[in-house]
């Protein structure tokens, strides 16, 4: 299922004195099955763009096409349920969405809302809790009596339980410990590789962009200013710095080595790529 933006603009509080630009004339296609990363500085419009992927926000002008569903400024809120089931959304500060009395009921709520029988929904809850690295006994606890990172995991489990085709993730690992971040990113990657889920990830972690994404969209002041593969995007460090963005740790370190006199045909993105490039330059080639 592809998602296409055709000249999409969005204005917050349109028609009031507080009106402000959210998106400006965005045209792009997110292909079904792709792993797309969206990067951009604070306030550049990433979360606004994501909320167009399941019609939580509707364009002020232009058209968003999600599979066979067209969303225009005139689209009414009826019949959006099938769309909301297909497009699972983990919001930024996802823990704010928790509301049920127990973790189990919170996770089961989504599937039950889409017609899954209670018994099956509870089984899904137990399965998803495990998938996000939480212990079973958490199921009967209140989601509000958890640490920040534990709440985030519960919120992610709730979206996975809806078994969406498209998984939209807004900074899903902020606040997770590094082991948890790695587990979660590996789990998303597995869902992408093995079950063909389309993934759209907003992140400030350039290492995650380099490690997982096929395509990158760069946002600035509500506009889409560049799109390409991670290698294309990270080939231009000065441009990224202008946009307040960083580089993957490896690419930044390779830049430092370049200044010392090391040479690279193309900038490496991961530690193993860099290690390969260094071998012949540090006299290790014959041992590799």
Catalytic residues: 171
Of 42, 76, 79, 263, which one interacts with ligand ATP (CB under 6 A)?
A: 42
Contact 217, 227 (CB under 8 A): yes
- Closest listed residue to residue 151, CA positions, set 200, 107, 87: 107
Residue 206 vs residues 50, 247, 269: alpha-carbon distances, Å: 19, 6, 10
Of 20, 82, 117, 148, which one interacts with Mg ion (CB under 5 A)?
A: 148
- Chain residues 150-189 in contact with ligand ATP, contact rule CB under 6 A: 150
Q: Which is nearer to ligand ATP, 220 or 273 (CB)?
A: 220
Among the listed ranges 12-20, 110-118, 154-162, 248-256, the one in contact with ligand ATP (CB under 6 A) is 12-20
Q: Which is nearer to other proteins, 42 or 77 (CB)?
A: 42
In angstroms, rounded to a whole number, what is the distance separating the alpha carbons of residues 64 and 52?
A: 7
For Cα atoms 272, 274, 277, give the angle at the middle one, nearest 5 degrees.
Answer: 115
How many residues belong to the chain?
Answer: 288
Residues linked to residue 88 through DSSP beta bridges, in sequence order: 167
* Residues engaged in binding other proteins (CB under 8 A): 12-13, 18, 40-43, 47, 92-93, 95-96, 145-150, 153, 170-171, 174-182, 204, 206, 241, 244-246, 249-250, 253, 256-257, 260-262, 271-272, 274-276, 278-279, 281-284, 287-288
Return the half-sphere exposure (C-beta side, CA atoms, 13 A cut-off) of residue 95. Answer: 16
In angstroms, rounded to a whole number, what is the distance separating the alpha carbons of residues 288 and 276?
A: 9
- Closest listed residue to residue 3, CA positions, set 166, 218, 201: 166
Q: Which does 249 bind (CB under 5 to 8 A by kind): Mg ion, ligand ATP, other proteins, none?
A: other proteins
Q: Which does 274 bind (CB under 5 to 8 A by kind): other proteins, ligand ATP, Mg ion, none?
A: other proteins
Which residue minimizes CB distance to ligand ATP?
149
Residues linked to residue 200 through DSSP beta bridges, in sequence order: 36, 168
Binding footprint of ligand ATP on the chain (CB under 6 A): 12-13, 20, 22, 40, 42-48, 92, 145-150
Binding footprint of Mg ion on the chain (CB under 5 A): 47, 92, 147-148
């Amino acid at each position: 299922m592809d998602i296409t933006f055709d000249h999409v603009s969005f204005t917050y509080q349109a028609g009031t004195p507080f009106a402000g630009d959210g998106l400006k004339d965005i045209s792009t296609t997110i292909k079904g099955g792709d792993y797309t990363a969206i990067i951009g500085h604070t306030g550049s419009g990433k979360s606004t763009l994501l909320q167009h992927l399941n019609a939580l926000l509707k364009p002020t002008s232009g058209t968003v096409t999600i599979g066979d569903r067209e969303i225009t400024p005139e689209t009414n809120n009826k019949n959006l349920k099938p769309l909301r089931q297909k497009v699972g959304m983990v919001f930024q500060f996802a823990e704010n969405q928790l509301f049920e009395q127990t973790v189990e009921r919170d996770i089961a709520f989504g599937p039950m809302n889409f017609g899954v029988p209670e018994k099956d929904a509870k089984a899904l809850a137990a399965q998803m809790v495990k998938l996000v690295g939480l212990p079973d006994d958490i199921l009967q606890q209140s989601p509000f009596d958890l640490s920040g990172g534990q709440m985030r995991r519960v919120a992610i489990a709730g979206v996975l339980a809806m078994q969406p085709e498209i998984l939209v993730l807004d900074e899903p690992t902020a606040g997770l410990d590094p082991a948890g971040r790695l587990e979660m990113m590996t789990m998303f990657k597995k869902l992408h590789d093995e079950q063909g889920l389309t993934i759209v990830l907003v992140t400030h972690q350039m290492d995650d962009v380099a490690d997982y994404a096929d395509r990158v969209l760069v946002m600035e002041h509500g506009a889409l200013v560049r799109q390409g593969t991670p290698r294309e995007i990270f080939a231009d460090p000065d441009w990224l710095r202008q946009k307040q963005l960083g580089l993957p740790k490896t690419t930044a370190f390779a830049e430092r080595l370049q200044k010392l006199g090391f040479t690279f045909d193309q900038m490496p993105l991961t530690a193993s790529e860099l290690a390969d490039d260094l071998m012949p330059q540090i006299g290790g080639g014959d041992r590799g």
